[in-house]
Amino acid sequence: MLKSLIPAAAALLALVPGVSRAADEAKPAVPRFNVAYMDRTADPRVDFARYAFGHWRADNPIPADKSRWGAFNELDLYNQTALKGILEAAAKSPHEPGSVEQKVGDFYAAAMNTKAIDAAGLTPLQPDLAAIDAMKTPADLARVLAHLHATGAGGGFAVYVAPDEKNSTMNALQAYQGGMSLPSRDYYFDEKYEKIRTAFLAHVTKMFELAGAQPDAAAAQAKTVFELEKALATNARTPVDLRDPLANYNKMPTEKFIALVPAFPFETYFSELGLTGPAAGEIIVGQPDFYKGLQGVLTAHPLSDWKVYLRYKALRAAGPYLAAPFENEVFGFYSHVLRGTPAQEPRWQRVSRVTDSQIGEALGQLYVAQYYPPEAKARMDAMIRNIAAVMHDRLANLDWMTEPTRQKALAKFDKFTSKVGHPEKWRDYRTVDIKHDGYFANVRAATEFETKRQVAKLGKPVDRTEWDMTPPTVNAYFDPTANNINFPAGILQPPFFDFTLDDAVNYGGIGAVIGHEITHGFDDQGRHYDADGNLSEWWTPEDAAKFEARAQKVVDQFNSYEALPGQHVNGKLTLGENIADLGGLSIAYEAFQRSQVGKERKIIDGLTPEQRFFLSWAQVWRTNIRESEAARLLAIDPHSPGRFRAIGPLVNFQPFYDAFGIKEGDPMWRKPEDRAKIW
């Protein structure tokens, strides 16, 4: 899908990275806040994370089919079990052709028919492989790449349609770096990833062997794939560099872009995808140097190398939907090697995830109908209003911001909106041909539908009612070009949103999530977008310098955290999320305090309301994680590890010290002059 190629930072700013799906249990418990998770033998002044969830960590080893395990995963398990019931019910009986139930049921039934999938072997992918083998000219390469991009395989680079970040009401043609199989450019060069590179070569070799190549030929082909990808990576930007929205916005006439890569007939490529017409006369290029480098890769590597490379890209993309040997091999490298996960998830969970990713708003309709009570939205809307009111007051009274910038900040905030639960209008999948058999064909049909849907947006107004997450998702996000925050139904449950418990727990949970997403509008990336969601320099130089000085304290703080022996958190890479955590916690705390005016203070489980607020925040980030996954995320993830998110904002916040009697000299103490305060 073209949209799937959009870098996450360019599309949205989410609360957590991709959450791995949870273990196969029949009736998972509701994962609500629990004082039993605490280790009361620990001193909160010494190790607050252990105090807040030490018993949970000891009692919750990572399941064999997971790379990590935490509160998000526990809630995801709860949602996945609900989806399993929906999917199985839909698959059991016939439904009206074209109905949501028919699409969902047949997709699931076909995906669960492993006998038919295994019997088909590589046959479903043979037409694509034949087209790759038949390439003779650069025009053939352009047509094949267009087809692979349209069907989700990718390769070479990334082109998509998305809101123009300097004209956010309109959708524009965009180009981004791409084509690499490893997590980031450093994996191709840094000595510390040598074992990963060796494993990657072995994996690619095995994929070619499964596709019929002899071992020696497969090994040679794997080397070709790696060398071509390494050449692409040479001019790619790092994850930190990709976080700069201004540096990654370079609009130019499409003719000028095409001239960057004369060896590749982009005219043919665009025509094949339907990316033509007046709106295609300009293109926003994320990384021009990558495309200048692409010219060199094309001239240095003959068409025969590109055939080998694209065979692998096709095999890798299709692998999870083909016979077991292909699916197992893709898992073996991308999950076992890169993330340390010992075993695959049960089949039904893997299929549930694919269904959600391919026809998510069809499945989402059925999920919402059964599991999302209308009163949840009303309560959520009220909390958003309470927390937004605090942010408005902060902006109006901030002592370090001058009046010209303040007025523009308030104008931006006045246009800020929120979406809760699910889309008002559901996506129409009637033209997607989903059948009771043919898993790969169903995935292909859904992917091509989405590609056409995205391409059709070119040059048209942005529909800000659309969602970038499906209803069952356990996450939330801020969309900078739409200037809105979004909370899928899936996260509006314990431990985040639990109205069986006291206000302190809810403000420390979903309240801080709301504050986190609001703050994203004013983090180191979000602050560059104005009231209309356009990239612009609306800050005075003086205020921008003040912001950066305050943000540097956050960078320095998180740079000091050692996540693995000799490996520290990257404070620049994680700055946006850390600022959002810092602001979100502080804003939610003030909103909580306002909500308690005139109410009786209650001690619950021996804890004050303030203590329960901070414990609720910390327990949201309880996590056990495998070393391989921790190392991978440190390299590419804009989110800090869970245990540092649990304590990072707290040690900047005086009410936390007051709540637990933390004094100078205690290990949890942070000098006042070192504490970060932005919003």
**142 shares its domain with 15:** no
Q: How many CA atoms lie within 13 A of 472 on its CB side?
A: 32
Total-model pTM = 0.95
Say if 226 falls within a structural domain.
yes
Catalytic annotation, residues: 517, 581
How many domains does the structure of the chain reveal?
Answer: 2
Cis peptide before 495 (omega within 30 of 0): yes
Q: Give the structural domain span for 559.
A: 3-21+50-82+359-421+431-674
Cα 327 to Cα 608: distance, rounded to the nearest angstrom:
51
Q: Work out the pLDDT band at 30, boundaries 50, 70, 90.
A: confident
**268 shares its domain with 369:** no
- Whether 330 contacts 318, CB under 8 Å: no
- Mean pLDDT over 564-587 rounds to 98
Q: Identify the domain boundary among 321, 346, 376.
A: 321
Burial of 383 (0-12, 13-18, 19+ CB in 10 A): buried
Q: Which residues, including other chains, have CB under 8 Å from residue 650's CB and lie 6 or more apart?
A: 48, 585, 614, 617, 618, 656, 668
How confident is the model over 294-330, as pLDDT tens digits? Answer: 999 999 999 999 999 999 999 999 999 999 999 999 9
How confident is the model over 399-445, as pLDDT tens digits? Answer: 999 999 999 999 999 999 999 999 999 999 999 999 999 999 999 99
**Closest Cα partner for 150 from 466, 455, 435?**
455
**435 shares its domain with 518:** yes
Say if 353 falls within a structural domain.
no
Say if 113 falls within a structural domain.
no
CA 449 to chain centre: 22
Residue 7 has pLDDT above 70, yes or no: no
- Mean pLDDT over 641-660 rounds to 98
**317 shares its domain with 414:** no
**528 shares its domain with 578:** yes
121: left (phi over 0), alpha (psi -120 to 50) or beta: left
Q: Identify the domain boundary among 321, 339, 371.
A: 321
Say if 396 falls within a structural domain.
yes
Q: List residues bridging with 251 in a β-sheet.
A: 284
How confident is the model over 534-551, as pLDDT tens digits? Answer: 999 999 999 999 999 999
**263 shares its domain with 363:** no
Q: Work out the pLDDT band at 28, boundaries 50, 70, 90.
A: confident
Say if 88 falls within a structural domain.
no
- Whether 257 contacts 292, CB under 8 Å: no
In Å, how far are 245, 413, 461, 512, 523 from 526, measured between CA atoms?
9, 12, 22, 18, 5
**255 shares its domain with 366:** no
Going by their DSSP bridges, the two strands 477-479 and 484-488 should be labelled as antiparallel
CATH number, domain at 55?
Answer: 3.40.390.10
Q: Which residues, including other chains, have CB under 8 Å from residue 360's CB and lie 6 or more apart?
A: 470, 471, 472
Q: Work out the pLDDT band at 378, boundaries 50, 70, 90.
A: very high
**Closest Cα partner for 646 from 607, 675, 608, 620?**
620
Q: Identify the domain boundary among 295, 321, 347.
A: 321
Lookup: tokens for 451: 């590609």
**546 shares its domain with 626:** yes
Q: Work out the pLDDT band at 18, boundaries 50, 70, 90.
A: low
**507 shares its domain with 655:** yes
Say if 26 falls within a structural domain.
no
CATH number, domain at 181?
Answer: 1.10.1380.10
**209 shares its domain with 266:** yes
DSSP element (H, E) containing 379? helix 374-397
**417 shares its domain with 493:** yes
Say if 377 falls within a structural domain.
yes
DSSP 332: I
**Closest Cα partner for 12 from 577, 479, 523?**
479
Say if 109 falls within a structural domain.
no
**Closest Cα partner for 19 from 66, 89, 81, 87?**
66
**364 shares its domain with 316:** no
Give pLDDT, residue 234.
98
Cα 645 to Cα 433: distance, rounded to the nearest angstrom:
44
DSSP 13: E
Give pLDDT, residue 11.
40
Cα 390 to Cα 519: distance, rounded to the nearest angstrom:
11
In the chain, % helix, strand, coil (3-state, to 5) comes to: 55, 10, 35
How confident is the model over 177-223, as pLDDT tens digits? Answer: 999 999 999 999 999 999 999 999 999 999 999 999 999 999 999 99
In angstroms, the first-to-last Cα distance of the chain is: 38
